[in-house]
Amino acid sequence: MKKIAMSLMTIAAVVALSVGATGAYFSDVETSTGNTFSAGTLDLNVDGKEGTQVVHVSFANVVPAVQWQGAEYDHQWVLKNTGSVPGSITYKIKNIKNYENDCINPEAKAGDISCGVLEGELGSQLKMVFQLNQAPYGYNQDIYPLNSAENVAYTPAAYHLNAGESKNVFTRSWLINAANNNLVQGDAVEFDIEFTLNQDV
C-alpha cells in the first residue's frame, strides 16, 4: 500500500512539473491596430462626360471617296481613367441599324430590291478606322465593312490608361469607292460605340 501511495505521489509531482513547465518560457505580445482595406476605383470618362451624355458622331451627305481624300469624316474622343487603378480600353460597335430611306431611282437601277425600313446598304460599304491621335500614331483598328463589326470586342494594346491618364482616340470613316455604291444612295446607318475600361491583370 505504501508503494502505491509513493507511486501516486511521484506521478503527481511529474504532472505538476510538466504543467508548470508549459508556462515558464518568455513571451512578448504586440498588436497591429487600425488595419484597413479600401477598394480601388476604375472609372472611364469620355470627353469629360459619362453615361448618355457622351457625345455622338453625326455626319450627313457621305459620298464615295478614296482613302484620305475628298469626303473624309473625322471625330475625336478624349478617354480618361478618372479612377485610382490602371486599366485598358476595349470597344465595340453595337446596335447597328441600316435605314433604307426609300429606294430612289439610282438605287433601283443598281438592283436594290430590298427597300424595307431597315434594309439599307450603307453599313455594308462604310469603312471606319480607329487610332490614337497622339504618339504612338498609326491605325489601331481598321473596320470594313462596318456591318462586320457588330459586337466584336477590339482590344488595341496602345489604349492603356494609368490612373488619371487620358488619351485622344480618333476615328475616320468613309464610303468605299465601289462599283455598287448607287445601292446606298439616301441610306443611313446608326450604331453605338461602347468603350469599356478593364482593370489590368
- CA 14 to chain CA mean position, Å: 72
CB-based burial label for 193 (10 Å; 0-12, 13-18, 19+): buried
Please identify, in words, the CATH class of the domain defined by 44-199.
mainly beta
97-150 pLDDT per residue, tens: 999 988 888 888 888 888 889 899 999 988 888 888 887 776 678 898 999 999
Helix (H, G, I), strand (E, B) or coil at 15: helix
Q: Can you tell me which residue has the cell 447597328?
A: 96
Cβ neighbours of 78 (radius 10 Å): 14
159-168 pLDDT per residue, tens: 999 999 999 9
pLDDT score at 16: 54
Average pLDDT score, the chain: 82
Domain boundaries, the chain: 44-199
